[in-house]
Structure 1
Amino acid sequence: MTYIRRQGLRIGAFILLLIAYLSSSILLELATKYAGTKVALAEQFIGAMLISIAVILVLYTWLYQRQLKRYNPRHFGHLPFNRQRIGQLLLLFLLMLVIQITWSQLIVHHFLPMPSNQSAVNDSVKQLPFWNSAYGVAVAPVFEEYLFRGFFFNFFFSKKSRWSNILGLLVSGLLFGYLHTLAFSVTTLFYASLGWLLAGTYLYFKDIRYSMALHFMNNLWAII
């Protein structure tokens, strides 16, 4: 199999995994849309969303573990949580808070515009508070870390080298930022900076649960 064909297949597989994640978020959007007018229909969409989340979670976990068993030169796996690692994770969270607070102050003082996707998220939470909050805090961090850190590095930057780590981190963050804004702007760099921090966490701890935990804390803080 040629390199171009192999990379094409990997890109196609990544896109399909991304579509699977987006399908669950679309079901939540539909539930939110009908929450105030057609309650029974909204509840059906919520049920379909929960089923899709369960299926996608099983699929992602199985595929990720399968990839690591087949080729894992960086030795990604499960590292036990201890005081030192928890302390390091909290320091990374403080750094993420600094980024978030700095960005919010720039918005408050009208140096930067409010991200359009954040406005949409705020509106969704108002219409369907519990499910949108639960999805943003508990579901999105898991699926996005599997996608933008786990699968992304396994598919495209799996070699154990300094340049592979650096390029993988940069591209992962940029992709993460672009898919949150769907346009290149200053706001893209904000989300990209969060993506770079999450990718760095994944590569440093070599355990995807740590980047998931950091992503979870960030989203929880944003909602609170």
Structure 2
Amino acid sequence: MVNGWLDWLARSLKWVGFLAIYLIDTGILTLATAMVKRPGVANRSIGVMLIYSALLLALITWRYQKQLSQNNPRHFGRTRFTSKTITQLIGFFLLMLVIQFAWNLLINTHVLSDPANQTALNTQVLQLPFWNLAYSILFAPVIEELIFRGIFLNYFFRGNSRTLNFLGVFMSGLIFGYLHTMSLTPTLLMYAALGWVLGAAYLHFRDIRYNTTLHFLNNAMSLMAFM
């Protein structure tokens, strides 16, 4: 029992560590954005961010692949793209669009307020468009799917049962939502719903490329609509 709790604590600390080093990366980009009126500082910050981002991506990808090589009861790997899987992927994306539409409707009717996270991101995009768009659309989806779906499920919900799969997707979605809002508000459920769709896609296709593609499309649609 003691060893089991110690193992769980070690895995929790590792996962939080991966999340922390990701937040450092976003913090460097935020610094670069804040220094946009000082081009020298902003450019150096962007250079540091690019190097840090490459190292971060390599580390998290290595951790994920090592996890799968050691324990992979769900048989995650590569699922061949076919007309069937692409059609199913479109179905998942349409579900995300429905959530986004419902979310925007609630905001426009003043049932919900604009999420602070999205407002802050929109402001950063206006200040430093290229790098904030590139990071949010191309880089963030890869890292977040590796952390919130790939590594998370293998750390805490390793078995391949309906109960564990449901709990894994549910918890990863809630944590995903909370870390995007940092508050217990109805907006958390909207972010969590997107996380639940991404988690369901990961378990359905058994290939992290599919939910990463969904995440990429969702972020691109959100930010392009803003622009």
TM-score of the aligned structures, taking structure 2 as reference length: 0.97
Aligned length: 223
1:26 matches 2:27: yes
In the TM superposition, residue 208 of structure 1 has moved relative to its aligned partner by 0.5
- 1:100 partnered with 2:113: no
SS in 1 for 2:202: helix
Partner of 1:158: 158
What is the aligned partner in structure 1 of residue 70 from structure 2?
A: 70
Report what 2:116 is aligned to: 116
Query: How far apart in 2 are the matches of 1:83 and 1:46?
Result: 40
Residue 188 of structure 1 corresponds to: 188
Cα distance in 2 between the residues matched to 1:111 and 1:174: 21
After the TM superposition, list the runs of 4 or more consecutive aligned residues in structure 1 that deviate by more than 6 angstroms: none
Alpha-carbon distance in 1 for matches of 2:169, 2:80: 24
The two structures, once aligned, show a CA RMSD in angstroms of 0.8
Deviation string 1:77-125 (CA, Å, 9 cap, x unpaired) is 0111111111110111111001101111110111111111111011000
- Supply the distance in 2 between the matched residues of 1:57 and 1:169 (Cα, whole angstroms): 23
| Paired residue secondary structure (1:217) | helix
Q: Which residue of 1 aligns with 2:13?
A: 12
Alpha-carbon separation, structure 1, partners of 2:110 and 2:166: 33
Cα distance in 2 for partners of 1:56, 1:111 equals: 38
- Matches for 1:82-97 after TM superposition, within 5 Å: 82-97=82-97
State TM-score, norm by structure 1.
Answer: 0.98
Post-superposition Cα deviations, 1:123-164, rounded to whole Å, max 9, x if no partner, equal 000000000011100011000000000000010001111110
Mapped to 2, the partners of 1:26 and 1:96 lie a distance apart of 27
Letter in 1 for 2:19: L
Query: Which residue of the partner structure matches residue 3 of structure 1?
Result: 4
Residue 46 (structure 2) pairs with residue 46 (structure 1): yes
Distance 2:165 2:60 in 1: 22
SS of 1:2's partner is helix
- Provide structure 1 residue ranges, at least 5 long, that are not aligned to the other structure: none
1:140 aligns with 2:140: yes
Structure 2 CA distance for aligned equivalents of residues 62 and 119 of structure 1:
33
State the distance in 2 between where 1:61 and 1:159 align: 21
Q: Provide the C-alpha distance between the structure 1 equivalents of 2:73 and 2:49, rounded to a whole number of angstroms.
A: 36
SS in 1 for 2:75: coil
Identity of aligned residues (%): 48
Q: Which amino acid aligns with 2:58?
A: V
Distance 2:112 2:70 in 1: 45
Look up the equivalent residue of 1:54 and give its one-letter code.
A
1:128 matches 2:114: no
Rounded Cα–Cα distance in structure 2 between residues aligned with 1:8 and 1:106: 39
**Alpha-carbon distance, 1:68 to partner:** 0.3
Q: Which runs of 5+ in 2 are unaligned?
A: none
CA deviation digits over 1:9-30, x for unaligned, max 9?
0000001100111111000000
